[in-house]
Each structure stands twice: as C-alpha cells, then as structure tokens.
Amino acid sequence: MTAIPEQDARKSGMIIERLGSKGDGQLRIDGDWVSVAGALPGEEVRIAVSGDRAKLLEITRPSPDRITPPCPHFKACGGCSLQHLADAPYRAFKRSLVVNALKSRGLEPDVEETWVTSPGSRRRVTLAARRTKAGVLLGFHSRRSDDIVDIHACPVASPEITRKLSALKELAAPLAPLKGEMDMAVTAMPNGLDLHMTGVATFAAPHDVMMAGAKALAAGFMRVSIGHDVPLVQATPEIQVGKAFLRPEPGGFLQASAEAEAFMASLVRQHLKFALEVVDLFSGCGTFALRLAEESRVHAAEGDAGAIEALEASARAAPGLKQVTAEVRDLFRNPLHAGALSRFQGVVLNPPRHGAAKQVAEIAMSSVRRVAYVSCDPGTLARDLRVLVDGGYRINFVQPVDQFLWSSHVETVALLERGGA
C-alpha cells in the first residue's frame, strides 16, 4: 500500500475488523489490510496511517474485551502485545493461530482449547543492555525497534528474576557497549539463578569483567558466564527432569516455562509410552528424552554438542532409566534417513522455528508408528504436518500451548499415528 502523506493520513471513525497474527488490530483501507498496534476488534479508532501500518491516536469506542494491562511498561515494551485483551478472547486468538495455519494447508483436525501458563512462570529471559550518557538501559526492545525500554517490573518473568533487575543493571554498567547492546540471559533454576552475558563491550578491561563476575556471585547468582570464558560457579544449576537431574550448559536452551515443559512432556510421553524404542530429534539437552527413557530405550540427535554432552551426563547419573544413546548431528543437512528411523516405534521432534522439512520427509517415508511433533511456529508446523499426512499419518490430537504469555507466539503439540482409524 502506498504511503499516505502525514497531512492526509489521519482518519477518524475507523472500525477494527480483526486481530492479525502478530496481535495487532487490523482494518481494510482501500482494499488493503492495515495493522494498528494496541487496537482490538470492534473498536472505533482515530489513526494516522503510514503504508500498511497505522499509529493509534485515540480509541473513541473501546471493545468490551479491553482490560487494563498488568504491566506498567506495556505501552512502550515490545515483549508483550496482548496484555490489554481479556482472557477468553485471548485464548481463542492463540488457538486461531494454529487452526488457521493448519487450514491453509488443507488440514482441519480438532484443535484443543489453549493451555495457558501462569503469570510470573517464565524461567528464562534475555535482557538487552546498553550504556548511554544518562546511564545503563536494561530491558526489552520496543515494538519493531532497536530501542531498549528500561524496565523495573515484568509480570511474565519469574519473581526470582525480576527481584534482580537492579542488580543486573549494576552489573551491566562497566560492561555494556555504547553502540550495539549486550545480552544478559537469566534462567531461574530450582536451586538459584544462572547468568550468561554476551556482547560485552570491547573496551571493557579484563579486570572489569572479572569484577563483574565476582559481583554477580556476591549478588546471589549461582553461576556466571561471560562470553566463552570459563564460568564462575558457586553452585551448579540443575533441574529435575523425571528421575534425572539435568545440568544445562551456560546459555543452553530450555523451554521458557517449567510448567509448560512438564505439560508438553506429559502429552508426548503418554503418546509414546508403548514404544520400545524412541528417537528424539532436535533433542536439546534432553527434556523429552530423559523422561521418555523411563519407559523406552531412547536415541537422541541434536546439532549442539554442549547440549548432547549435558544430556549424556544426566542419563549416566540417573537411576532406573532405560538405555539412552545420543549423537551430535545436523538434522537440517543430514537428517536421519527413513531406513534408520524404521527401527523405532516412536519419534518426537522439537525443531526451531523454521521447522524440519528434510527430516519430516524422511519420517513420512519411514514405518515409524507414532510421531509427536512439538512446534513453536504454526506455519512451519502446518507445512510439515501436511507432508506427514500425505505420507500416511493421521493427526490424532493438536494442543496449543501458550508459554510465551501475552505475546503473539504459540507452541503446539501435535500427535500423529500411522495407519487407519
């Protein structure tokens, strides 16, 4: 849509027609969809249009679904986009993302109501830090911008993390760059906080880096790692995964919410519980594999060597597990082939956002009976499920899981089985 000059861009009495996939209100102007951040369906608004976006100037008739956002930073911070939407339509929106993506690929299975994680349950956040003349900014980016919104509260994050925001800002002071930004990844473990910092300013002296690490330990962080340096540790971060205790590497991937992880794992485990042998593809550090090994022999494959090392160490130390084997493997370039897959009775895969096209093509040609697909992107999930269905699989169950609360992201667990009804 051609940009409209500012003097002609202001429009009053406009009615928002729907929520777009990013959580923005949308309406049609001259046949084209225009997105209005912060607006809800049915609202009458005054806006300033620029291209395919518009700035919300005033809500002249609010939606009955509009509520007061719980976060004081909501209007500025880009971390959340839907705190102003009431619970029932919010859950319906998350479900619609999955339903619409599947429908676009000609798939119309039953889709469960959205399971939603609790506020304050996000155990893993990555904060951006930058030094300015006025001091250090620490927080999340504003919407569609590199600007950092300085935060002092976050109702999404674990209270253990938010209580350390001022300490994190103090730690960032000697390390944050003037241009670009430093990332501070904080993970709340049952036994304490893990801190991993990257992007430290090149001008930061080694002494400043060492002092920042020591201060972090004194501030109550149990492990502190800066870049690729050997971490400073006063206690080893660990989480319980079924019978096993997992010790992730510094900066290692974990599901954002422990309760969401447990819920998704319960669905996967129930689906695959009668499989004698299971393969876990894109296994990460083993949050599915270690649980599945309580009933089945498991082979795990993952491209990150550190994650595989953590998985193997946890499996060796855990009592009562069946055999767990693992390999470092780039499943995008070198997927496990159909012949190798066919010795397994179950597959679980949890790929990154862009899905697993090559690996799914091999699964579709295999004789594996049951597949559990955990996805963080409805679009690539729908694309990959289409391939599996065309290969003879039936979709038994689809569960949207909202572990990124008040965002436009949704996780999905899809359970499939080969053969007839």
Q: Are residues 372 and 394 in the same domain?
A: yes
Q: Which of 42, 48, 52 is nearest to 16 (CA)?
A: 42
CATH number, domain of 54, equals: 2.40.50.140
Range of the domain at 270: 92-118+254-418
124-132 vs 182-189, strand pairing mode: antiparallel
Q: Residues 189-209: pLDDT tens digits?
A: 999 999 999 999 888 788 888
- pLDDT, tens digit (0-9, with 9 covering 90-100), for 377-407: 999 999 999 999 999 999 999 999 999 999 9
Nearest Cα to Cα of residue 239 among 253, 229, 228, 227: 253
Same domain assignment for residues 258 and 394? yes
Give which of 13, 14, 16 is closest to 25, Cα–Cα.
Answer: 16
Q: Under a CB-based contact definition with an 8 Å cutoff, are residues 117 and 257 in contact?
A: yes
Q: Which residues are catalytic?
A: 376
Last residue of some domain: 199, 233, 267? 233
- Provide the pLDDT confidence category of residue 6 given band limits of 50, 70 and 90: very low
Q: Please state, in angstroms and rounded to a whole number, the distance separating the CA atoms of residues 289 and 350.
A: 11
Quote the pLDDT of residue 419.
79
- Contacts of residue 147, defined as CB under 8 A and 6 or more positions apart, other chains included, come to 141
The pTM assigned to this predicted structure is 0.92
Asked if residue 229 and residue 134 are part of one domain, the reply reads yes
Please spell the DSSP secondary structure of 151-220, one letter per residue. Answer: -S--SSB-HHHHTTHHHHHHHHTTT--SSS-EEEEEEEETTEEEEEEE---TT--HHHHHHHHHHHHHTT
Number of domains comprising the chain: 3
**Quick one: 111 and 131 in the same domain?**
no
67 part of a folded domain: no
Q: Please give the average per-residue pLDDT across 64-91, as a whole number.
A: 96
